[in-house]
Amino acid sequence: MTTTYEAPGSASAPGGPDAVTAVVAADFETDEYEADFGGEAPTRIPSSEGVEIGPRRGVRSATLDERFNIVGSLAGGMALATLLFGWISPLTGVVGWFVVAYLAFIGFYMLLVSMRSDFQEVKDRVATVLMVSAGVMLFGALVFIVVYTLIRGSEALPYVNFFTQTMELTGPLDPLSSGGILHAIVGTLIQISIALAITVPLGIATAVFLNEVGGRFARFVRTIADAMTALPSIVAGLFVYAAIIQLFTHQRSGFAAALAITVMMLPIVIRASDVVLRLVPGNLREASYALGTTRWRTVWHVVLPTARSGLVTAVILGTARGIGETSPVLLTSGITAVMNVNPFEGPMISLPLQVFDFVRSPEPTMIARGFGTAAVLILLVLGLFIVARVIGGRGPGQLSDRQRRNAQAESLRDLQRITMLDDRIYAGDYPPARATQNIVSTAPKPSDPEETSL
């Protein structure tokens, strides 16, 4: 890499090994440089041979000084808050302590940074701290909410009957060793299955329409689907109540609840699939068209398989959202304590609605059951989410190892087939006599559907 230029006539610099120049030389586009000077570089770049280059320095990590600033002001902030709350002023409450400690931390930190740096740097440091603390607060809240629910729910979860019984024979005063949420689990599974059976084909077909067919109407559909994402869930429930229950079924049922969930899930699936399909590289489509395929075959054999993992992720995320919907279900499914496996008749409760029903009771055991049900719900959503991440970790067109092996094997088979076909053509026994006649006959009638569809 380090080419040495011997410039004749020019006074060569003393060739003392210089670490800095050696580093510069490593990044140097020697060809361009040479071209600028007509093939003659005016300076001699010393060889880096024998020069020890020290270990690479981390430029991202904070300096010791910087770390002390953070730690010191954190300690100071907490100490001040404790002092204020413990001795000096009559402040109480955990949240208040955090607020005071945080404000004091920011103040101390500004002070500490300003001792060594100018105003611009103080602003930069404080802004970074504010961003990080916003993130910490948000993710802390998320973790706290999830963990709080799981811990409160752990009271009911160890009982096996919680998963194997219904609430049919259990009153509000019965202990946790009686009654369970099997009926709600079954209800959720039935409702989400019906919703998925409608949402997946409809949602993905709509996303395909937006991306592969296009046109003015597709833009309109996209706008409407966007607007639908913000549809208040209670309005979706109200709509199904007015359109399905009052007009047709005249009773609350699992099917009506599934329809309400569908209305909520559909725009989520459409938007997520739309984004995924948009990421499918255009040259794949063009390659397919260039091979003479129709739109339908391009979509079915190129676009959808390429986007498969993303589409699965979209559907799973939609499912995770749909499972947790409470308010549309509240209006449409009805509340029951017994098992009902017929979605078309009678009330059928689902997990979120069961939580809602449990915690309306003032009894501690019922509230414990409510938290237990919520914990099951959260674990379900979490599980779906992890599955979605595992599947959807790859971008469109990136294959897993097994898929890559399969693709390789398939193209090998194709190669064999084609070469064998080649041999047969060369040997003269392909195509058969019928086929030659067919080629001639295509010319006068080009609208033969068999010919155009491939």
> Can you tell me which residue has the tokens 């079915």?
300
Question: Among 238, 337, 339, 399, which residue interacts with other proteins (rule: CB under 8 A)?
Answer: 238
- Report the distance separating Cα 390 and Cα 384, nearest Å: 10
Cα 117 to chain center, whole Å?
40
Interface with other proteins, residue 352, by CB under 8 A: yes
Identify which of 104, 134, 167 has the alpha carbon closest to the alpha carbon of residue 355: 167
Question: Among 93, 158, 362, 428, which residue interacts with other proteins (rule: CB under 8 A)?
Answer: 93
> Contacts for 162-167 with beta carbons within 8 Å, 24 or more apart?
162/369, 162/372, 166/337, 166/338, 166/339, 167/337, 167/338
Q: Which of the residues 240 through 279 are near other proteins (CB under 8 A)? A: 241-243, 263, 266-267, 270
Q: Which of the residues 392 through 411 are near other proteins (CB under 8 A)? A: none
Cα 13 to chain center, whole Å?
58
Question: Among 53, 115, 213, 409, which residue interacts with other proteins (rule: CB under 8 A)?
Answer: 213
- Report the distance separating Cα 442 and Cα 451, nearest Å: 8
Alpha helices (H) along 14-118: 19-26, 30-36, 64-83, 94-116
Q: Which of the residues 288 through 347 are near other proteins (CB under 8 A)? A: 294-297, 299, 317, 320-321, 323-327, 330-331
Question: Among 21, 48, 73, 149, which residue interacts with other proteins (rule: CB under 8 A)?
Answer: 149
For residues 319 and 387, is the Cβ–Cβ distance under 8 A? no
Q: Which of the residues 215 through 234 are near other proteins (CB under 8 A)? A: 215-218, 220-221, 223-234
Q: Which of the residues 354 through 393 are near other proteins (CB under 8 A)? A: 355-356, 359, 367, 370-371, 374, 377-378, 381-382, 385, 389
Residue closer to other proteins (CB basis): 160 or 242: 242
Residue closer to other proteins (CB basis): 17 or 364: 364
For residues 269 and 315, is the Cβ–Cβ distance under 8 A? yes
Rounded to a whole number of angstroms, the minimum distance from the CB of residue 66 to other proteins is 13
Q: Which of the residues 153 through 212 are near other proteins (CB under 8 A)? A: 201-202, 205-206, 208-210, 212
Rounded to a whole number of angstroms, the minimum distance from the CB of residue 2 to other proteins is 27
Q: Which of the residues 109 through 148 are near other proteins (CB under 8 A)? A: 120-121, 123-124, 127-128, 130-135, 137-139, 141-142, 144-146, 148
Q: What sign does the CA torsion over 320, 148, 257, 189 have?
A: positive
- The CB density around residue 61, as the number of other CB atoms within 10 Å, is 9
Rounded to a whole number of angstroms, the minimum distance from the CB of residue 42 to other proteins is 27
Question: Among 152, 178, 304, 308, which residue interacts with other proteins (rule: CB under 8 A)?
Answer: 152
Interface with other proteins, residue 442, by CB under 8 A: no
Residue closer to other proteins (CB basis): 41 or 270: 270
- Report the distance separating Cα 30 and Cα 64, nearest Å: 39
Residue closer to other proteins (CB basis): 37 or 300: 300
Residue closer to other proteins (CB basis): 5 or 98: 98
Q: Select the span of 17-25, 107-115, 183-191, 348-356 touching other proteins (CB under 8 A).
A: 348-356
Residue closer to other proteins (CB basis): 120 or 283: 120
Identify which of 434, 374, 428 has the alpha carbon closest to the alpha carbon of residue 162: 374
Residue closer to other proteins (CB basis): 86 or 214: 214
- The CB density around residue 52, as the number of other CB atoms within 10 Å, is 7
Q: Which of the residues 13 through 42 are near other proteins (CB under 8 A)? A: none
For residues 403 and 306, is the Cβ–Cβ distance under 8 A? no
Examine residue 175 and say whether the peptide bond preceding it is cis (omega within 30 degrees of 0). no
Residue closer to other proteins (CB basis): 176 or 323: 323
Rounded to a whole number of angstroms, the minimum distance from the CB of residue 428 to other proteins is 33
Rounded to a whole number of angstroms, the minimum distance from the CB of residue 253 to other proteins is 16
Alpha helices (H) along 232-333: 233-240, 254-278, 282-290, 295-298, 304-306, 308-323, 327-332
Interface with other proteins, residue 83, by CB under 8 A: no
Question: Among 75, 91, 341, 425, which residue interacts with other proteins (rule: CB under 8 A)?
Answer: 91
Residue closer to other proteins (CB basis): 145 or 160: 145
